[in-house]
């Protein structure tokens, strides 16, 4: 058990103040002083992380206290970070990661200055900040401000939000962007607790990835008492309302979308319970979801206690809840047990996709789960055909590269397929026992692929040497491509789609037993993927089913992508309409790719138009990905 020597004191303080500051719309806020001392933990040395300038094996940060002011006019976060240190080598300086931060001063706890130096700026990694410590320094205070272009921050005008009433700010730290808003040892192996006091303009609400959230007048206070990697420190601020879903689950959203969000996410508590039943207790207290403004570049981000989710999941029919299953699953794979370096990213995402698929099976049945798995596998095979061999391995070498390069179907779907293969060979019960043991043995730790493989061998493979022979672990983890034993699925729901497609295209009539009205997203995607490349067919599909204006972003993006690939530029206005509302990279990028795919370059002006008209509104991550396609 981890112990918190100050928790009794805190509780007393909290209970004393709580009556005065309870916010009726919030999930039981508690007033928390910004200072939450946390114990130094003795940990084994960390592996070398090529994506950080920090030297955590010499001096390690184990707790950060943030005292910050959000300035929407200047687009700057300014304040101070007090870092609690474990001095492993008492003579060593402290090395931190920063990216475009202005450092005003660095002091000891007593306010006296400490010598420090910002090193050379690397475009990807930023600038190292070296602080020379004095004997006995177990804390340093960094006074700093962010740049208006800080990569982790997106400042949105009120027009860019759903309700249009207030501006919005959010952070996105994964993989190596936290350093652009907090000076830290920004490596996923360096776990820390944090506490924060944040001042925001009147009328705005601040939320963070912390179980304890309170207000103290105009100041929002937070405490995360479990040690998390820096990329999970997250903040959002805007016109946010809250609706509870269960005692521990709820949703934050712009007031204009709150009711819809509550309805769409009604299964959250059931999902948490299923996870607990199979993978061990949910260890983070609350589980809330924050519905982001449309510009959010990802589907979801597993910030602990507070998943950030794209508003494109609010379709009205719960068709996108797998995304919530995914982010929730990260509460075990990723947040509880974290990749030690970005090379081990598949431990985060492969496990999470595997768990996500299991949750979907438990909540919505085998058939739906099978369709989701088959869709993932199809995407995986397609990506493998395009990726260089060195990027087809789970244990990918990312030295000198952007860790976002590892965000491919390899980490996600090949990782999950490997675990599915283990389950197929060893059986579900053994697999579940193994997973529970894995999560509890490595809880609140960051581990490497090697550590996982050793644990796998000891706790699953060796239990049955005959079965062990059936899984070529080395091929799965270190070799490109897919082992022949890769399980293949043929869901019934896809057979139905195929039969329908053939009959409808041949006769123009709907077969009597066909029910496209009941199809889930993955069936529509399968339907579209199997259509021949014939513009007339695509037009017929749209006339009959209206997919170009589907409220389901996945279907709409997939349809428009096919149309643009086939030079159907009368769908460009639908496309512009879509990208004016959605900034999610996964849905926008295929459209740009389709426009750039023509030998005659006829789509390029439209791709450029997307960049010029909507580029400034997109998040840096989406914009940069589009630029890479358009400015070749």
Active site residues: 327, 412
Interaction partner, residue 299 (ligand BES, Zn ion, none; CB < 5-8 Å by kind): ligand BES
Write the interaction track for Zn ion spanning residues 330-349; mark x where CB under 5 A is met and - where it is not: -------------------x
* Distance in angstroms (rounded) separating the CA atoms of residues 231 and 339: 11
Q: Which residues of 494-506 are buried (b: 16+ CB within 10 A; e: fewer)?
A: bebbeebbebbee
Q: Identify the residue among 163, 229, 299, 350 touching ligand BES (CB under 6 A).
A: 299
> What are the backbone dihedrals phi and psi of residue 395, each rounded to the nearest 5 degrees, phi first?
-90, 70
Phi, psi of 319 (to 5 degrees): -70, -15
| Closer Cβ to ligand BES, 166 or 307, answer by number | 307
SS3 helix, strand, coil % of the chain, rounded to 5? 45, 20, 40
Asked if 94 touches ligand BES (CB under 6 A), the answer is no
DSSP 8-state symbol, 27? S
**Three-state DSSP state, 440:** helix
- Rounded Cα–Cα distance for residues 430 and 597 (Å): 47
Q: How many residues bind ligand BES (CB under 6 A)?
A: 15
Tell me the CA end-to-end span of the chain in Å, nearest whole number: 54
Give CA–CA dist 363/413, Å, rounded.
Answer: 21
- Which of 301, 315, 373, 592 lies at the binding interface for ligand BES (CB under 6 A)? 301
Q: Which is nearer to ligand BES, 254 or 356 (CB)?
A: 356
If the CB atoms of residues 41 and 401 are measured against ligand BES, the closer one turns out to be 401
Rounded least distance, CB 174 to ligand BES, Å: 4
Which positions from 352 through 371 interact with Zn ion, judged by CB under 5 A?
352
288 binds, among Zn ion, ligand BES, none (CB under 5 to 8 A by kind): none
Q: Does 300 bind ligand BES (CB under 6 A)?
A: yes
Nearer to Zn ion by Cβ, of 226 and 327: the residue is 327
Residue 174, interface with ligand BES (CB under 6 A)?
yes
Cross-strand bridge partners of residue 169: 155, 237
Going 371 to 374 to 379 to 382, the CA torsion angle's sign is: negative
Q: Which residue is nearest to ligand BES (CB)?
A: 299
Task: State residue 538 phi and psi, 5-degree precision.
Answer: -65, -40
User: What binding mask, one character per residue, do residues 388-417 give for ligand BES by CB under 6 A, x or -?
Assistant: ----------------x--x----------
Which of ligand BES, Zn ion, none sits in contact with 311, Cβ below 5 to 8 A by type? none
Q: Provide the β-strand partners of residue 228.
A: 192
Task: Classify 333 as helix, strand or coil.
Answer: strand
Residue 241 binds: one of Zn ion, ligand BES, none (C-beta under 5 to 8 A by kind): none
Where in 313-352 is the site for ligand BES (CB under 6 A)? 323, 326-327, 330, 349
404 binds, among Zn ion, ligand BES, none (CB under 5 to 8 A by kind): ligand BES
Rounded distance between C-alpha atoms, residue 201 and residue 212, angstroms: 21
Token pair 């796998």 is at which residue?
456
The CA distance from 194 to 190, in Å, is: 12
Residue 128 CA to residue 54 CA, distance in Å, equals 7
Burial of 488 (0-12, 13-18, 19+ CB in 10 A): exposed
Q: Cβ of residue 349: shortest distance to Zn ion, in angstroms? A: 5
Please give the residues from 576 up to 595 whose contact with ligand BES meets the rule CB under 6 A.
Answer: 586
- Closer to ligand BES at the Cβ: 36 or 190? 190
Considering only residues 538-577, where is the footprint of ligand BES by CB under 6 A?
A: none
Q: Which of Zn ion, ligand BES, none is residue 323 near (CB under 5 to 8 Å by kind)?
A: ligand BES
- With respect to ligand BES, which residue has the nearer C-beta, 32 or 324? 324
The entry of Zn ion, ligand BES, none near residue 525 (CB within 5 to 8 angstroms by kind) is none
Q: Which of residues 417-436 bind ligand BES (CB under 6 A)?
A: none
Residue 63 parent element (H or E): strand 59-71
Quick one: how many helices (H) and strands (E) in the chain? 20, 21
CB of 621 to ligand BES, least distance (A): 8
Residue placing its CB nearer to ligand BES in the complex, 448 or 622: 622
Nearer to ligand BES, 323 or 564 (CB): 323
> 310-326 burial by CB neighbour count: b if 16+ within 10 A, else e?
bbbbbbeebbbbbbbbb
Give me the residues that bind ligand BES (CB under 6 A), please.
174-175, 298-302, 323, 326-327, 330, 349, 404, 407, 586
Give me the residues that bind Zn ion (CB under 5 A), please.
349, 352
């Amino acid at each position: 058990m981890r112990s918190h020597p100050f928790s009794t004191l805190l509780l007393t303080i909290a209970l004393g103040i709580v009556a005065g500051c309870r916010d009726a719309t919030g999930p039981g806020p508690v007033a928390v002083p910004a200072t939450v001392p946390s114990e130094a933990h003795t940990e084994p040395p960390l592996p070398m992380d090529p994506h950080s300038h920090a030297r955590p094996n010499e001096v390690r940060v184990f707790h950060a206290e943030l005292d910050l002011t959000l300035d929407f006019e200047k687009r700057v976060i300014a304040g101070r970070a007090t870092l609690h240190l474990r001095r492993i080598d008492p003579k060593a300086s402290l090395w931190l990661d920063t990216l475009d931060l202005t450092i005003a001063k660095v002091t000891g706890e007593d306010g006296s200055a400490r010598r420090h130096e910002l090193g050379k700026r690397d475009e990807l990694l930023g600038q190292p900040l070296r602080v020379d410590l004095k004997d006995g320094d177990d804390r340093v205070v960094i006074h700093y401000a962010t740049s208006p272009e800080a990569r982790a921050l997106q400042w949105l005008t009120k027009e860019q939000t759903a309700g249009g009433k207030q501006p919005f700010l959010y952070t996105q730290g994964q993989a190596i962007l936290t350093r652009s808003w907090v000076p830290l040892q920004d490596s996923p192996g360096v776990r820390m607790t944090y506490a924060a006091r944040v001042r925001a303009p009147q009328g705005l609400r601040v939320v963070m990835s912390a179980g304890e959230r309170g207000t103290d007048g105009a100041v929002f206070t937070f405490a995360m008492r479990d040690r998390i990697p820096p990329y999970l420190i997250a903040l959002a601020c805007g016109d946010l309302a809250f609706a509870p879903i269960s005692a521990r689950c709820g949703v934050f959203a712009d007031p204009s979308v709150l009711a819809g969000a509550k309805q769409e996410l009604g299964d959250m508590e059931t999902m948490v319970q299923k996870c607990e039943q199979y993978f061990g207790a949910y260890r983070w207290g609350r589980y809330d979801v924050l519905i982001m403004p449309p510009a959010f570049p990802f589907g979801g981000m597993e910030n602990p206690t507070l998943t950030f989710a794209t508003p494109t999941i609010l379709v009205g029919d719960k068709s996108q809840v797998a995304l919530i299953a995914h982010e929730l699953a990260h509460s075990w794979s990723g947040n509880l047990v974290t990749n030690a370096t970005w090379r081990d990213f598949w431990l985060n995402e492969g496990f999470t996709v595997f768990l996500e698929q299991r949750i979907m099976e438990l909540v919505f049945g085998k058939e739906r789960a099978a369709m989701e798995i088959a869709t993932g596998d199809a995407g995986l095979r397609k990506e493998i055909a395009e990726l260089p061999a060195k990027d087809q391995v789970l244990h990918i070498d990312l030295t000198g590269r952007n860790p976002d390069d590892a965000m491919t179907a390899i980490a996600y779907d090949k990782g999950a397929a490997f675990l599915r293969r283990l389950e197929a060979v060893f059986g579900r019960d053994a697999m579940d026992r193994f997973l529970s043991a894995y999560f509890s043995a490595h809880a609140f730790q960051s581990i490497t692929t090697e550590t996982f493989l050793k644990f796998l061998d000891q706790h699953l493979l060796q239990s049955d040497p005959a079965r062990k022979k059936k899984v070529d672990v080395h091929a799965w983890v270190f070799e490109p491509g897919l082992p022949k034993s890769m399980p293949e699925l043929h869901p019934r729901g896809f057979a139905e789609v195929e039969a329908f497609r053939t009959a409808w295209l041949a006769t123009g009539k709907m077969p009597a037993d066909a029910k496209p009205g009941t199809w889930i997203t993955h069936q529509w995607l399968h339907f579209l993927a199997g259509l021949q490349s014939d513009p007339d067919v695509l037009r017929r599909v749209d006339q009959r089913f209206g997919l170009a204006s589907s409220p389901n972003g996945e279907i709409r993006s997939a349809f428009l992508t096919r149309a643009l690939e086939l030079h159907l530029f009368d769908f460009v206005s639908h496309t512009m309409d879509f990208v004016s509302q959605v900034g999610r990279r996964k849905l926008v990028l295929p459209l740009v790719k389709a426009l750039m795919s023509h030998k005659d370059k006829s789509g390029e002006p439209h791709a450029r138009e997307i960049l010029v008209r909507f580029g400034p509104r997109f998040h840096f991550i989406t914009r940069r990905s589009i630029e890479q396609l358009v400015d070749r």
